[in-house]
Amino acid sequence: MRTVALILSSAVVLAALWWGLKPTTSAPSEPQLRQYSLAFSGQQYQGPATLTAYAGDTLRLNVVSDSDDAMHVHGYEKHLVLPAGELTTLEFTADSTGRFMLELHGNDLQFGTLEVYPRQ
């Protein structure tokens, strides 16, 4: 009897807290196109340190480098060859949620992160 009371009271406490604390979602209801511009000059990165998206969004990364290089989005395993001085675009759907490293292969520079949040 005491065990049943323990389980019931625990469930009530947990459910009440969940109901009271869970906020309404702040994510847009529909997937969006999110564009970011990234530039590399003399091994220096110019652009946002964190690229943010919600699950299902389309990401368009416009990248330019002043030397031949390649960029890697970890987790998504997207690789983008960057010919010197050319604007190159990488577009993909952010279908996996999480935090993914962005790396410039030339000097193993981990220059930023992509954060993809769940929509709800």
Partner 1 sequence: MAFAASVGSTAVHAHSFAQPYQLPMPYWMYIYGAMAALALSFVVLAFFLRETPNAQQPRHLLLGQLKMPWLRRLFQTLMFASIVLAIVAGIIGNQDSYRNINMTYFWIVFALGGCYLSALVGGWYDAVNPWKVSVEVLSKRWPVFGSGYIAYPKRLAYWPALAQYMVFIIIELFGDTRPFSLSVILLAYTALTLLGSWLFGSRQWFYYADLFSVLFRVIGHMAPLQKNAEQRWVLQWPFAGLIGQRATHPSLLIFILFMLSSTAFDGLKETQLWFNLFWKDPWNILTPLLGEHPIYAYPYLRPWFIAYEVFWLLLSPLLYLGLFLGFLWLGKTLSRSDLPLTELTARFSYSLLPIALVYHITHYYTLLLNQGVKIRGLISDPFGWGWNIFGNAITGRLPIIPDMGVVWDSQVWLILIGHVASVWLAHVEALRCFNSRRQATLSQFPMLALMIVFTGFGLWILAQPLKG
Residue 97: count of CB within 10 angstroms of its CB: 15
Does residue 13 contact residue 20 with C-beta atoms inside 8 Å?
Answer: no
Smallest gap from residue 35 Cβ to partner 1 (A)? 19
Mention every residue, 6+ apart, whose C-beta is less than 8 A from residue 41.
65, 66
Distance CA 50, CA 115 (A): 7
The tokens for 41 are 């000059």
Q: Which is nearer to partner 1, 8 or 87 (CB)?
A: 8
Task: Give 45 or 60: the residue with its C-beta nearer to partner 1.
Answer: 45
Find the shortest distance in angstroms from Cβ 57 to partner 1. Answer: 14
Contact residues: partner 1, CB under 8 A: 2, 6, 9-10, 13-14, 17-18, 21-23, 44-47, 49-50, 55, 74-75, 77, 96-101, 108-113, 115-118, 120
Which residue type, as a one-letter code, is found at position 44? Q
Residue 2 C-beta: closest distance to partner 1, Å: 6
